A and B are shown apart, each in its own frame.
Chain A
């Protein structure tokens, strides 16, 4: 099979490339020697093979070749063409391939730009490619599974091998795929994974340089080359993470843009140390200081990318995240990949430790490098807190602990991360005002006074407007405003408001805005879907303090915050049911309601994988209104004939004391009543009657009594049903089985379908646009600063 040939070829070629580049790097004197040539050729072959695997997989998905497990698993006939890309990387195999692909792209660029570093850098990258390529094997070696093969046939998959459908010679004609998870049928799924994986892949560049530096014992020559790559990676990975946040906010039901889900954390962890890496490299470039940390930071970052991959793909997060992948048998191999590079890097550092250049003197306390280094360390600390908590399932497994993840996850992480955020934003504010080597303190204070005073004033006003009372929040608001004002003034004064030179200041300013937006929108988010009617929703209602969802029957208008909200109806579009939720306001003088806007939160119907709720959000300049359906009546008008009204009763045979269930209550047959009020039930004197006393306990533990009656008259049997209208239940006492001492009851449920309802969560996120704007500014700033660095390097080379 073509696909497997490519898999094998890509692996062999990567192995050969790694070996050839290794030999080439060992023989320095043979500059451009035969080994290097072989390395290049092998890497090119590897690149073609990877392209071949991808092309084959696309072909398979496009032509619906469901005999292949991967195609069957991730696509189906009814799926729109635009999601073909998403199908490709929905599964683990596809996402590993995406990662491999980006490293191939990076490798091809590096091959042409690294010059004297080509052999050692490419050797490391080729080695990483060997591991990634083997992830597609799916072989067992000594009972140990290596990777998972995307070209496996459906009938070869152990779970499905014995399904009768494969007995048919033409089984393919009857096969349709499982399809792309409806949760992922979204344009974000097309752009988020490639961006994130390019970010992950780019962490290998500084790592490969660091390894090369240790290996070739050229401790101080590579940092300048690796610097623009680091910032490129920081920008891409950062964008990828934020896209994930935007996706979660827009269309997943996470209830916000950042839920501290282990999967989200796994992508954030390497980014924090990556930012540290970039800054450490800047220090080295400017001052040739901290050589050791220029090795440690990129190595840790790369290792953390592998660790994160392990966390999300090994299934170990099982109980703590609903979003993690399940184990495909890749985790063991992934662990070896991880441990191999940890070992390699540690050995190289230990061997070279004594030879690393040391600086003779100490950093000045008032130097930019000192504070930058401090900032990098704070990022590492913040990162460590996230790692330790996210790794709780791992430590449980290793040490047999019984720790559970935090109960209020978002609150927990926010509490711990706010102090770090305060320090980091403060450093971001003052950082650029320090000069390398040493700073004139008087000048420093003088320049920072105006931005600081301004920040204090704005913070005072904004915390009064926002009614912020928490000291930590106010401090963070102050430091993030300070980051904005200080960087803005720096750009205006020191950079003469030159856009081209504003890279670093914009990146820092954007970071300040992101933290500010996150702080305000999270701390002042207001759930407006609370029961404001003053009516207790049930006897249990008092115990339940955090009732954040509200019932809306069709046509009801309820007050939510400053709005009045009506549920006006629903319509079905394809797989989706759109619920129309109209927001109105009341004119204070005319007392009339007028419509402001209508939101359409969605429930996507998917019988195979489960229904998915998709929120709908109205964006305003200063706030967002977010609505999300928690529960709803899903029957459509056309279907109501079938579903509405009384269902044909189900028959239960009970003894006295027995219990039966309906969908909304527990029914206990407490006793058989022989003394029946004949007049009340209109029973003749010569008739014999018995009543069954049924105790009906509803969700709120409220007790209703129903007493259906069984009447025997002259060999004819009559039933007098009883009902509990509130619960839509009616009971018929059908039969007495004297021998078994049991009685038959038919229970019919008039479902509440005549009441078309939704249970809605509505949240206001104030000033969340500050966050998105900050993202934009930060990314733009980073692009500018990379451009500036490349430009400067080219100029330097010309001279």
Chain B
């Protein structure tokens, strides 16, 4: 067996190990109920904003706290407390991914949020210019 083959096998073994461990370190997608059963774990929860409930943000009181209500894909709703300022154009977002963990009070504490805004291809309608003759 050649040296280069030994090296290759070694490298493949390491690569496999790296990939497997780094995958197992990953968080998973979950629903609010699954997240609530493991409050120590960090989950990604995908859901839609409940626009009938308030989004509370008051920079004067706490610049790093924004709360809103999210309905996950299974229909469960939780109050989400995001420890960040309110993102720009939050209301526009169609789908939201919150990253964080459940806390005891039926709330979800999010470290981060990913917003999926309505695709650029369906948002907005052709608009008339102000200079139009009509």
Contact = CB atoms under 8 A, between A and B. Distances in A.
Contacts of A741: none
Interface string B50-64: 000111111111111
Nearest to A757: B59
A550 to B, nearest CB: 6
B76 interface: no
A322 B11 CA distance: 34
Interface stretch (A158-166, A189-197, A477-485, A635-643): A158-166
A167 B97 CA distance: 40
A328 B121 contact: yes
A547 B82 CA distance: 11
A662 B83 CA distance: 20
Given A72-B126, A406-B27, A322 B115 contact: yes
B115 A752 contact: no
A384 interface: yes
Given A322-B116, A538-B61, 13 more contacts: A73-B120, A160-B126, A163-B125, A174-B134, A175-B128, A319-B44, A385-B18, A405-B26, A538-B65, A540-B81, A609-B123, A610-B88, A699-B56
Contacts of A609: 120, 123-124
Contacts of A612: 88
A318 B28 CA distance: 16
A77 B127 CA distance: 12
A319 B120 contact: no
Q: Which 6 A-B pairs have the closest CB atoms?
A: A610-B89, A661-B54, A404-B44, A631-B85, A538-B62, A551-B63
A664 B63 CA distance: 12
With most chain B CB atoms within 10 A of its CB, the pick from A550, A551, A665 is: A551
Contacts of B18: 381, 384-385, 416
Nearest to B133: A173
Contact of B64 (A174, A328, A365, A537): A537
Contacts of A613: 88
Contact of A326 (B3, B56, B57, B120): B120
A457 interface: no
Interface string A233-272: 0000000000000000000000000000000000000000
B58 A407 contact: no
Contacts of A392: 23, 26
Contacts of A402: 28-30
Contacts of B122: 159
Interface string B86-129: 10110010010101000000000101101111011111111111
28 contacts: A77-B129, A159-B122, A176-B127, A318-B116, A319-B44, A365-B3, A377-B8, A377-B11, A381-B18, A385-B22, A388-B22, A403-B26, A403-B28, A403-B29, A407-B42, A407-B111, A538-B65, A543-B109, A547-B63, A549-B64, A551-B63, A610-B88, A611-B89, A631-B86, A663-B54, A699-B58, A727-B58, A757-B60
Contact of B132 (A173, A608, A700): A173
A664 B12 CA distance: 56
Nearest to A608: B124
A350 to B, nearest CB: 19
Interface residues of A, number: 81
A178 interface: yes
Nearest to A322: B114
A117 to B, nearest CB: 29
A281 B88 CA distance: 49
A666 B54 contact: yes
B116 A700 contact: no
Interface of B: 2-4, 7-8, 11, 14-15, 18-19, 22-23, 25-30, 42-44, 46, 53-67, 81, 83-86, 88-89, 92, 95, 97, 99, 109, 111-112, 114-117, 119-129, 132-134
A631 B59 contact: yes
Nearest to B56: A699
B115 A362 contact: no
A543 B11 CA distance: 44
With most chain A CB atoms within 10 A of its CB, the pick from B4, B58, B81, B119 is: B58
A543 B82 CA distance: 11
B3 A551 contact: no
B120 A406 contact: no
Contacts of B99: 404, 407
Nearest to A378: B11
Given A159-B122, A388-B22, A546-B83, A759 B59 contact: yes
A547 B83 CA distance: 7
A373 B59 contact: no
A553 B59 CA distance: 10
Given A362-B3, A699-B61, A630 B84 contact: yes
A501 B60 CA distance: 61
Interface string A541-560: 10110111111010000000
A319 B46 contact: yes
Contacts of B29: 402-404
Nearest to A632: B59
A698 B26 contact: no
B11 A544 contact: no
A625 interface: no
A752 B58 contact: yes
B4 A373 contact: yes
Contacts of A723: none
A353 interface: no
Interface string A72-85: 11000100000000
A416 B63 contact: no
A776 interface: no
Given A546-B111, A550-B63, A610-B89, A404 B43 contact: yes
